[in-house]
Structure 1
Amino acid sequence: MTAHKDAVRRRIEERRARLIALSRSIHAEPELSFEEYRSADKVIEHLSEAGFAVEKGVGGLDTAFSATLGSGDLVVGICAEYDALPEIGHACGHNVIAASAVGAALGLAAVADDLGIRVKVVGTPAEEHGGGKVLLLERGVFDDVTVSMMVHPAQEDSHPAAFRSQAVSRFAVTYTGRPSHAAAAPHLGVNAADAMVVAQVAVATLRQQITANCRIGLFVREGGTATNIIPERTVVDCEVRAFELAELTALKERVMACFQAGALASGCTMDSAPTEPDYAELWQDPALADLFAANLTATGRDVPDSQHRLTGGSTDMGNVSQVVPSIHPAIAVIGAQHAPHTRGFAQDTGTPAADDAVIDGALAMAWTAVDAAADGTLREDLAVRRRSGLTDPAAATTR
């Protein structure tokens, strides 16, 4: 085991400068969901040069890919994200995620044959909005994957078991009324903006009665065109979050009642439709989580125990984790003073501290895969749970 881990470290250290350059290059050219053509090509270039067999456009998504090496029965799926946020670039650090994924894959390539591993990097577009992993999961791209992993930059390191994310449902509500001249004949109009206002007030009052584990967010995408025209159409984008799907479903029903109140009060008609796939809550595999925490500590980081909770946000990795034993830990951009999804964190993810996160994340993931492959009992347990779909942490035991 030590020899295998040393081989992994040497391979990653040999590629250190290029991995950091990859992260910086993706950071410098942010691309939005489903438009990450340059970013995907940059990742593919590194994997192709290392001998990985690359298939572009998997799952019918232009900016998705799979890259495989090795022929073992333990298929280690490493997810690479590379989409950015509108206006603020890589404020979620997906450049770090992509480069860490490449680093882990290159490290594992050095020992894959010895350990009976097949390494599979899955390029997963549109995590921020669009649910790339959900679509790839539905279209069979993860069917052969035994375990799945990735790391996500944050302000602090975490034990994977302590890092939770929420399920989220995103949808748009459209109100349709009747236009009229706002001065000459306001009584003939049916005001779609009134429906929107009533709904927003209803949602605001609902927020007083929901638990601290839930979130509701919305904004008005369309709200009228001129002051002297009664608005015929308004569109509201909304999202509802909770830590359990059942709780999410119940909350969404209450939110929809708020929107229906707007239609009833104004006389408008109302339609709603999803804007992207629902994201499930994240399930961290206990055995892989403990291994990762130990391996991240071995890189020299101070990793809190599993009681130190780090929560918030949503990820389409949640959907993968409910089918494939998975980990999705946070790795610190040490010294970062800004929260993710801010302009400040976008700057943080292009610093030497982010470069360190790339390398340490790659090492910890690769070493975790080595540990899982070398432990025959755990290896079989993971395979059985993958086949049976028992990925809920309550169904697994911590080793």
Structure 2
Amino acid sequence: MSDTTALSDAPPPPARDVAALKDAADRTVAAAAADLIRLSETLHAHPETAWKEHRAAAWVGEALAAAGFRVTPHYLGLQTALLAEAGSGPVIIGIMAEYDALPGLGHACGHNLIAAGAVGAGLALAPLADELGITVRVYGTPAEEGGGGKIELIEAGAFRDLDLAMMVHPAPVDVAEARPFAVSHSHIAYDGVSAHAAAYPDEGVNANDAFVLAQVAIGLLRQQLPADTRVHGVQTVGGYAPNAIPERTEGRWYTRANTLAELEVLEERVRRCFEAGALASGATLSITPESKPYSEFRTDERALEAYRANAIARGRVFADPEVAGRMNRASTDMGNVSQLVPAIHPYIGVDSLPYSNHQKEFAAACVGPVAEKALLDAAVLMAWTAIDVVTATAPTTPKESTA
């Protein structure tokens, strides 16, 4: 199956009611809580950045193999990807485990919780697979932080037969619906000519000047950009000695817009700013994509409604729209998955305000009692949402409470 309409044709579970199935999922997660928390803490203590998550992938795979999943490491040729499967039903539920960390910040985006929560959801659904008529898949997806691991997997053939794809992402507060920007990731480099800055300055071509000029141009451009776009980056190489004119400078830049179509237009305007730096300084410019662009997100409304209702029933409190409207704009390669199959990407709060994702204080908030509750709730809520969608009995949403 590959679309939500087909799910309604699936037969209901034959013997047990939905409440009993959910209770069983809850009890499975509770029984595995200590192991799931230990996995999260281990990942948190040993952060690995994009495409280097060898230990993380192994630990996630071992946890699933120990529970009886059929585990395929190095999935589709990606060394730090994996696929773990349980059950053999016609309805296929995919749960995404991210586990890459941020350079210099460790797990300041909480991917340790994402991975452990995905394992927990898989454990919860596996014993129910035959009754629900499902196949449970947990995907280890590397390099979400700028590397586009899910896009690489898509191009290798992954995900396309899923009936529902899910993940739950840590955040300062709970937000049900993801509305991320589309984003491109670019490596910028200027090559000039080195020379002694005092004795022979006229013989040099200053690559650092090129970068400074480009950043000034981008800063001026921002005044004319739509409010719902973003352009930002860092210079990673700027020269090595004050008396040597820099012959090479490098940086990493992200450009974001509401859709891939809008992103394409914006990227051209930003490119001209970098070209201006090269033109004015005489340096040579090269722009290299770090991954294929991340897409905007297409939310499956039925699954989102089920998740929202289940989260409220479990006592989660969703943030008011003003707060929620900030967190849910973060970009993700899960957006590319959502363009292929029904998908949701809720955020679950770890009570970190005033600190938020990609701050060292947020990394600290991704371990401890509040984070552990978020981890276990995320596992249960993904399982409950799958149960509701598969049985076509998504509950009516109670009046939503807000923080």
Superposition TM-score, scaled by structure 1 size: 0.90
Q: 2:161 aligns with which of 140, 144, 149?
A: 144
Q: Which amino acid in 1 is paired with 2:152? A: L
Pair 115,306 (structure 1): closer, same or farther in 2 beyond 3 Å: farther
Which stretch of structure 1 is more off in the superposition, 186-195 or 20-29?
186-195
Ranges of 4+ aligned residues in structure 1 off by more than 6 Å: none
Q: 1:349 aligns with which of 347, 362, 366?
A: 366
Question: Are 1:285 and 2:263 counterparts?
Answer: no
Give deviations 1:160-183, integer Å, cap 9, x for gaps: 2xx311111111222222333322
Give deviations 1:221-253, integer Å, cap 9, x for gaps: 222233333322222321111121122111111
Q: Assess if the C-alpha contact under 8 Å between 1:335 and 1:353 holds in 2.
A: no
Q: Assess if the C-alpha contact under 8 Å between 2:174 and 2:349 holds in 1.
A: yes
**Separation in 2 of the partners of 1:88 and 1:56?**
27
Structure 2 alignment gaps of length 5 or more: 1-17, 395-403
**How much has 1:203 moved relative to structure 2?**
0.7
Pair 52,178 (structure 1): closer, same or farther in 2 beyond 3 Å: same
**How much has 1:306 moved relative to structure 2?**
8.0
Question: Are 1:255 and 2:255 counterparts?
Answer: no
**Residue 384 of structure 2 aligns with which residue?**
367
Structure 1 alignment gaps of length 5 or more: 379-399
**How much has 1:337 moved relative to structure 2?**
4.1
Give runs of aligned pairs for residues 58-69 of structure 1, distance below 5 A. 58-69=75-86
**Residue 328 of structure 1 aligns with which residue?**
345
**How much has 1:284 moved relative to structure 2?**
1.6
2:356 aligned counterpart, secondary structure = coil
Q: Assess if the C-alpha contact under 8 Å between 1:32 and 1:84 holds in 2.
A: yes
Q: 1:182 aligns with which of 170, 182, 197?
A: 197
Q: Assess if the C-alpha contact under 8 Å between 2:175 and 2:328 holds in 1.
A: no
- In the alignment of these two chains, the number of paired residues is 375
Q: Assess if the C-alpha contact under 8 Å between 1:58 and 1:141 holds in 2.
A: no
**How much has 1:305 moved relative to structure 2?**
8.1
Pair 337,173 (structure 1): closer, same or farther in 2 beyond 3 Å: closer
**Separation in 2 of the partners of 1:225 and 1:187?**
19
**Separation in 2 of the partners of 1:336 and 1:237?**
28
**Residue 229 of structure 1 aligns with which residue?**
244
Pair 195,214 (structure 1): closer, same or farther in 2 beyond 3 Å: same
**Separation in 2 of the partners of 1:50 and 1:180?**
62
Question: Are 1:153 and 2:146 counterparts?
Answer: no
**How much has 1:41 moved relative to structure 2?**
1.6
Give deviations 1:280-320, integer Å, cap 9, x for gaps: 11222111100110111121212358896343221111111
Pair 191,249 (structure 1): closer, same or farther in 2 beyond 3 Å: same
**Separation in 2 of the partners of 1:190 and 1:19?**
55
Superposition TM-score, scaled by structure 2 size: 0.89
Q: Assess if the C-alpha contact under 8 Å between 1:105 and 1:121 holds in 2.
A: yes
Query: What is the aligned-residue RMSD (CA, Å)?
Result: 1.8
**Separation in 2 of the partners of 1:277 and 1:205?**
27
**Separation in 2 of the partners of 1:348 and 1:177?**
44
Q: Which amino acid in 2 is paired with 1:282? A: F
Q: Which amino acid in 2 is paired with 1:28? A: A
Pair 209,59 (structure 1): closer, same or farther in 2 beyond 3 Å: same
**Residue 333 of structure 2 aligns with which residue?**
316
Q: Assess if the C-alpha contact under 8 Å between 1:35 and 1:63 holds in 2.
A: yes
Give deviations 1:82-139, integer Å, cap 9, x for gaps: 1111222111111111111111111111211011110000001111131111111111
**Separation in 2 of the partners of 1:319 and 1:169?**
12
